[in-house]
Chains A and B, each alone.
Chain A
Amino acid sequence: MELAFLEISELAEKLRNKEISSVQLTKYFLKRIKEYDGASGLNSFLTVTEEEALAQALEADKILASDPHASVLTGIPYAAKDLFSTKGIRTTASSKILDQFVPVFDANVIEKLNTEKGILLGKTNLDEFAHGSSTETSAYGPSKNPWDVTRIPGGSSGGSAAAVAAGLVPFALATETGGSIRQPASLCGICGWKPTYGRVSRYGVIAMTSSNDSPGTIARSVKDLAITAEILSGHDPKDSTTSVKEIPSYVANLRSDLKGVKIGVPKEYFIPGMQPEVEARIHEAIAKLKELGAEIIEVSLPLTKYGSLVYAIVTPAEISSNLARFDGIRYGHRSDGAKDLSDIYDQSREEGFGDEAKRRILTGAYALSAGYYDAYYLKAQKVRRLLVNEFHEVFQKVDALVCASVPNVAQKIGSAKDNPLFGYIADQLNIPASMAGLPALSIPCGFAKAEDASVEMPVGLQIIGPQWGEQNIFNIGHAYQTITDWHKKYPKGFGEI
């Protein structure tokens, strides 16, 4: 039975019809992971939880047999970025400093998926502490893009994106701070949802930039994203920034036309240096949205180019503070060579952190230090308010914005090396929405030739909504997917085994 590239709802139906059991489904994906992953393969998983998964699947099968109202996710395998705390399961954040770390509690979203009896197959690779846009800063080596294994899958949630793209798992948990879901989803030709800030709890997610961090999902269709969004969203007393706002029935509300929907196209998102073929795919996608009945309106967001600059200050500043907890004292790596307390701090952090984490900690410490705070951090937070206001204004006129997720297709592995600006530039079309706490999607909208014309790589359409406007973006994405089949394309070389 060909199951590798089926959507959640299709797999859920097969489970209900008794065409397959959750144990069989779990074994099926575990076998694919063994065949196609590992350090010599895609390197998308850091830990595979075979034993726990099979035990969970047995339990799910019992529920499926007895409860006709079991959740759509009951018995469905998934993977989680290794930034989510998983009780009793090693959680590294792709950093040596947490190489042997085993959390004592589950992240809120893991707990939610446990309640639904989703099956955790393992933990996926990421840039160290989610600092990066290629997975190349991972202490465990980069993941590879299934469409061309010599290219990056994007990042930081590159392992999650590569695993879903290669059909190793039906969906994966991921996190965004400034593009870390949308960018890898775009580069790997799959769908990604970055929620409104505060829609999904950050509890148990190893912190990067607390004012931005947004856990979300990577999956095969917008409908799948909407299914997960209904389950993952909601207030959590353990994350005081989560909202008590009602969670709409995203899936039931999905529609297949866009009559009466106003979509803005921000001209500043068509930047100089964008690959012409990527730009062409975006214009084709916009034509499709028009065909579906949407009114397309050109809009202007002049502060767009400053988004990445704000990010390049605020993010390292929060990182320098959030990563202060990794000090070798209570958990994580402690240097063997330390002679006194001071050595424990200095040497454990020297040995435990990679270059990118160090660079961001140092940048942040500098931007926050006496004499520089006003010029950097305070200035950035002022511009950030202007960015929020600018989006707020444009959403008085339109229901959503569309543009490219990434101005180019996936680059070769090695592109990010020793380039301190790689991430800030790679994610420049994603970051402004992140800084304003907006929900956004990336969905596949075709292919473009790589810079050396050697191969065709996926292109992603970005859909940005107003705060709490998940339904708007799901509706647009879903309608697009009812008349296109880009989301049904998958890479060669990952066939049935």
Chain B
Amino acid sequence: MILTAEEVRKIAGLARIKLSDSEVEKFRKELSVVLDYVSELEKVDTEGVEEISQVTGLENVLREDHAKLSEYRDAIIASFPERKDDFLKIKSIL
């Protein structure tokens, strides 16, 4: 499985990571190695097998939906990278 530079740029965009041209080339090669490695899974017959998503057999763990005040409010606000008063500050969105 050989990835193209185009495909690497596309997934880097999806993953929101800026890559330089040399990084695109590096990851193109390395991802191709990983995809080759996993391709052998095709050999396992999984006809009629349902996928698993939780290995200890739990299903729908529920709890009461009670609202409560967070004890961490001020500490969380204090760790914002940029803020104005108690508001999180970001760069322009357009």
A359 to B93, CA, bound (A): 28
Contact A383–B41 (Cβ < 8 Å): yes
Instruction: Select from chain A the residue with minimum beta-carbon distance to B76.
Output: A104
Q: Is the CB of A310 within 8 A of B41?
A: yes
Please pick, from B14, B38, B49, B56, the residue contacting A376 in the complex, using a CB distance under 8 A: B38
B61: nearest chain-A partner, CB-CB: A240
Most buried by A among B30, B31, B54: B30
In the complex, B2 has a CB within 8 A of chain A = no
Chain B contacts with A in 43-72, Cβ cutoff 8 A: 44, 46, 49-56, 58, 61, 63, 72
Distance to closest chain B CB from A468 (angstroms): 8
Residue of B nearest to A351 (CB): B18
Q: Tell me the dominant secondary structure on chain A's binding face.
A: helix
User: Is the CB–CB distance between A197 and B55 below 8 Å?
Assistant: yes
Cβ contacts B63-87/A at 8 Å (1 or 0 each): 1000000001001100111100000
- The one of A346, A363, A380, A436 in contact with B31, judged by C-beta atoms closer than 8 angstroms, is A363
* Contact bitstring A320-339, B, C-beta under 8 A = 1, else 0: 10001001111111100011
Given contacts A366-B11, A420-B33, contact A243 B53 (CB under 8 A): no
Select from chain B the residue with minimum beta-carbon distance to A310. B41
| Nearest CB in chain B: distance from A189 CB, A | 30
Report how far A418 CA is from B26 CA in the complex, Å. Answer: 9
B72 to chain A, nearest CB (A): 5
User: Given the complex, which residues of A lie within 8 Å of B80, measured CB to CB?
Assistant: 330-331
Whole-angstrom CA separation of A102 from B37 in the bound complex: 38
> Could you say which residues of chain B place their CB within 8 Å of the CB of A202?
none
Q: Is A115 in the interface zone, CB < 8 Å from B?
A: no
Known A-B contacts A359-B27, A384-B52; the reply to A340 vs B44 at CB < 8 A is no
Q: Check: A313 CB closer than 8 A to any chain B CB.
A: yes
* A interface, size bucket: 35 or more
Q: Are A340 and B92 in contact (CB under 8 A)?
A: yes
A382 in contact with B51 given A104-B72, A329-B90 (CB within 8 Å): yes
Known: A237-B63, A350-B17, A366-B31. A309 touches B94 (CB 8 A): no
A375-394: which have CB < 8 Å to B? 376, 378-386, 388
Partner of A346, one of B17, B44, B51, B63: B17
Which residues of the other chain, B, contact A196 by a CB distance below 8 angstroms?
56
What residues of chain B lie closer than 8 Å to A329, measured between beta carbons? 81, 88, 90
The yes or no answer to A424 lying at the interface (CB within 8 A) is yes
Q: Is the CB of A340 within 8 A of B11?
A: no
Beyond known contacts A105-B72, A363-B31: 6 more, CB 8 A cutoff: A240-B63, A349-B17, A362-B31, A376-B38, A383-B44, A385-B51
Return 21 A-B CB contacts under 8 Å, by A number: A198-B56, A306-B40, A306-B41, A331-B76, A332-B81, A341-B90, A349-B18, A353-B17, A359-B31, A361-B15, A362-B31, A379-B46, A382-B46, A383-B41, A385-B50, A385-B51, A386-B46, A421-B33, A421-B34, A437-B55, A467-B56
Q: Measuring CB to CB, which residues of chain B are less than 8 angstroms from any residue of chain A?
A: 3, 7-8, 11-12, 14-19, 23, 26-27, 30-31, 33-35, 37-38, 40-42, 44, 46, 49-56, 58, 61, 63, 72, 75-76, 79-82, 88, 90-94
Top-5 shortest CB links A-B: A381-B51, A437-B55, A104-B75, A385-B52, A382-B46
